[in-house]
Amino acid sequence: MTPTDRLRRLSTVMRHLCTLAMIAIPALLATFWLVFGGCWPFQGAGADPGMVGCTAHVDGGLARHLALFWPLPAWKQLGAFGISMLPAAAVLFGLWQLRRLFTLYGDGRIFTAANTRAFRRFASAVFVYALLRPLSQTALIAFLTFDGPPGSGRLAIQLGSPELTTFFLGGLFLLIAWVMDRGREIAEDQAQFV
């Protein structure tokens, strides 16, 4: 098997994995919010015997606080799903661009403008995800608590290592896309002189 054959085979596998992820992400989010109501049953430490709350996909004591708002009515489940889909949409767009890139590799197109365009769009999706994730978490918490009793509403913005790492990776991917595009331009210029 030649290196080109291996590249094509691996590209096909990766393209299929991207497709599966694009299907799985919204399906899992829908299941989480619409089927389970955005929570998993738990018996919290120190909770009243027989009181069962829910753990949300937020951190620390906030999950215990949000447990007071469960079970969620259907309109809140649907709204929470929509808010959760905002950063997921950036991930889906990034996966679509990776799928496009692997399709090009599978077709034997390695250093083309379409490759660098797909990779640049993927890098942009990483940046957008890094921006949308903390904003959507804030919007989600506000949405879930806005109609509670006075003093129960919460607003929390969380920026930490995951967000900073995602910003760094987005910048790194954009730099790689720029280098790939510059290398392609140099190769095309040299090919015209030969």
Task: Examine the pLDDT at 51 and tell me if it is beyond 50.
Answer: no
Pick from 8-22, 48-62, 73-87, 125-139 the range whose average pLDDT is largest. 8-22
Q: Which residue has better confidence, 25 or 186?
A: 25
DSSP conformation class of 41: E
Give the DSSP H/E element, type plus range, for residue 72: none
How large is the average pLDDT for residues 108-123? 90
pLDDT at 5: 84
Task: Examine the pLDDT at 44 and tell me if it is beyond 60.
Answer: no
Average pLDDT along the chain? 79
10 Å CB burial of residue 103 (0-12, 13-18, 19+) is: middle
CB neighbour list of residue 150: distance below 8 Å, 6 or more residues apart? none
How large is the average pLDDT for residues 175-191? 82
How large is the average pLDDT for residues 3-19? 91
Distance CA 72, CA 102 (A): 41
Task: Examine the pLDDT at 69 and tell me if it is beyond 70.
Answer: no
Q: What is the pTM of this model?
A: 0.77
The residue assigned the tokens 């995800």 is: 129
**Residue 55 pLDDT class (50, 70, 90 cuts):** very low
How large is the average pLDDT for residues 161-182? 85
Distance CA 91, CA 122 (A): 9
pLDDT at 48: 42
**Residue 32 pLDDT class (50, 70, 90 cuts):** confident
Question: Tokens at residue 41, please?
Answer: 């049953």
pLDDT at 60: 45
CB 52 within 8 A of CB 43: yes
Domain boundaries, the chain: 3-193
How large is the average pLDDT for residues 122-151? 83
